[in-house]
């Protein structure tokens, strides 16, 4: 192994009789270099976008959500939930009561989701980052306020600066029968909007109100739709989920963020892997230049090959020399490319040199998220492709070994 590696290293840096060999070898290294750097950069950018999207979702998507396995609501006053509320591992415990209702404002109407939340909801981080207008205020000086999603504002043309017009909310009365006056079949409450948030359609059709306001509107004194939980240590989420699931039994479903937004995570992962596969095919084409480079090197060193064979070097040793030659070229290009990609990502992460095209987006520059596993993935991908191409080229090196010896 040492002998073949030594000779392969000498061949790589030795003077060739044909300048075309140096040129083709340089193209092979450059192809691997660019391909590796591109893979690292693209995967890191996708990580950055994923982090941005999930950070927005995570403001409204809790780490753990408890919901009933059947029905729409449950009583959170049982001993199990009383003990859970006092669990020291929990940082934020929010009770939520939600239901669709008819929203009316200045003649316009829209059926949206009214989401009543307990006081802990406002203690969450990054709430203000979702706002596009106003403030995230649900109660001020004893007066209730609502924060509307952008879809609600778009359909109803909400004007936060109009202090004299409130938002009307209509909810069907429980057990109401047919009445001469249809208005008697609904509970009507008014509330003034204080802000507008924007995340995604799933959330933007909602109207966030205080929990006690939602209880009055929906005629629900005790029950809630689900409980949202944030932990102090997010590394304990899986363990906490399993523990709570066992305690609550089959009457409740305990979901983590991936389970709450299964489609979102599937889309993000599929897009990332699709780009990875496309760039890998480009990299394969670039690495296959290595076959031409090693083939021409065999032609240049055919006298050396014949001499090595004459003094007792077997086909295996000669094949290994050119195999290691190919591996050195690709691994060197891969490491240099990954290092360059890392430097680029660090510069973009800290200085944001490349800006987004739209000025009104959430982030001004392209986000970057560095994941060590991506570097491992790129290295093994390039190494795997290199093993195949180097193996093909090394077999060609000994294919006409007999003719080389005859020429010598």
- Does residue 344 have a pLDDT over 80? yes
Range in 39-48, 174-183, 226-235, 336-345 with the lowest mean pLDDT: 174-183
Q: Map 44-88 to HEC letters.
A: HHHHHHHHHHHHHHHHHCCCEEEEECCCCCECCCCHHHHHHHCCC
pTM given for the model: 0.72
Q: Pick the closest to residue 228 from 72, 97, 54, 80 (CA basis).
A: 97
User: Which one has a higher pLDDT value, 390 or 137?
Assistant: 137
Q: Pick the closest to residue 213 from 263, 147, 273 (CA basis).
A: 147
User: Which one has a higher pLDDT value, 149 or 407?
Assistant: 149
> So what's the pLDDT on residue 27?
75
Beta-carbon count within 10 A of 383 CB: 14
**DSSP state string for 261-287:** THHHHHHHHHHHHHHHHHHHHHHHHHH
The model's pLDDT over 189-237, given as tens digits with 9 standing for 90+, comes to 999 999 999 988 889 999 999 999 999 999 998 999 999 999 999 889 9
Phi first, then psi, for residue 51 (nearest 5°) are -65, -40
> So what's the pLDDT on residue 178?
63
The model's pLDDT over 1-48, given as tens digits with 9 standing for 90+, comes to 566 666 666 656 555 544 555 666 677 778 889 889 999 999 999 898
Compute the average pLDDT of residues 142-162.
94
The string over 74-99, giving b where at least 16 C-beta atoms fall within 10 Å of a residue's C-beta and e elsewhere, is bebeeeebeebeeeeebebbbbbbbb
Range in 88-102, 173-187, 242-256, 358-372 with the lowest mean pLDDT: 173-187
DSSP element (H, E) containing 193 = strand 186-197
Compute the average pLDDT of residues 233-244.
92
Q: Rounded distance, CA 128 to CA 61, Å?
A: 15
Report whether 225 contacts 72 (CB < 8 A): yes
- Does residue 309 have a pLDDT over 80? no
* Residue 304 pLDDT grade (very low, low, confident, very high; cuts 50, 70, 90): low
The proportion of the chain whose per-residue pLDDT surpasses 90, expressed as a percent, equals 47
- Burial label for 15, CB within 10 Å (0-12, 13-18, 19+), is exposed
């Amino acid at each position: 192994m040492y002998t073949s590696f030594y000779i392969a290293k000498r061949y790589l840096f030795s003077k060739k009789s044909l300048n075309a060999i140096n040129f083709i070898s340089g193209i092979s290294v450059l192809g691997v270099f660019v391909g590796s750097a591109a893979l690292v950069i693209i995967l890191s950018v996708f990580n950055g976008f994923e982090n941005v999207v999930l950070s927005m979702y995570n403001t409204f998507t809790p780490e753990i959500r408890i919901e009933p396995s059947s029905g729409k609501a449950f009583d959170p006053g049982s001993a199990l939930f009383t003990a859970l509320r006092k669990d020291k591992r929990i940082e934020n415990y929010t009770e939520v009561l939600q239901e669709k209702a008819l929203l009316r404002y200045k003649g316009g109407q829209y059926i949206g989701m009214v989401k009543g939340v307990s006081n802990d909801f406002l203690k969450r981080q990054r709430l203000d980052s979702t706002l596009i207008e106003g403030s995230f205020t649900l109660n001020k000086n004893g007066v209730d306020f609502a924060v509307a999603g952008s879809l609600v504002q778009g359909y109803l043309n909400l004007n936060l600066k109009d202090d004299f017009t409130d938002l009307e909310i209509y909810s069907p009365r429980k057990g109401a029968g047919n009445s001469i006056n249809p208005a008697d079949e609904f509970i009507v409450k008014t509330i003034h909007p204080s802000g507008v948030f924007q995340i995604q359609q799933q959330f933007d059709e909602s109207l966030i109100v205080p929990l006690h306001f939602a209880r009055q509107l929906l005629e629900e004194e005790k029950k809630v739709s689900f409980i949202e939980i944030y932990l102090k240590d997010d590394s304990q989420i899986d363990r906490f989920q399993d523990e709570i699931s066992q305690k609550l039994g089959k009457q409740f479903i305990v979901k983590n963020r991936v389970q709450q937004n299964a489609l979102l995570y599937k889309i993000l992962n599929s897009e990332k892997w699709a780009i990875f596969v496309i760039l890998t095919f480009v990299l394969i084409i670039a690495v296959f230049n290595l076959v031409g480079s090693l083939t021409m090197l065999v032609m240049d060193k055919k006298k050396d090959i014949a001499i090595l064979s004459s003094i007792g070097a077997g086909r295996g040793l000669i094949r290994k020399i050119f195999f290691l030659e190919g591996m050195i070229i690709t691994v060197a290009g891969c490491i240099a490319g990954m290092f360059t990609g890392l430097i680029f990502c660090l510069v973009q992460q800290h200085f944001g040199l490349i800006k987004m095209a739209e000025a009104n987006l959430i982030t001004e520059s392209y986000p970057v998220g560095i994941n060590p596993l991506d570097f491992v993935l790129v290295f093994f991908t390039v190494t795997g492709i290199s093993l195949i191409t180097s193996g093909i080229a090394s077999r060609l090196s000994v294919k006409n070994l007999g003719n080389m010896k005859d020429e010598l």
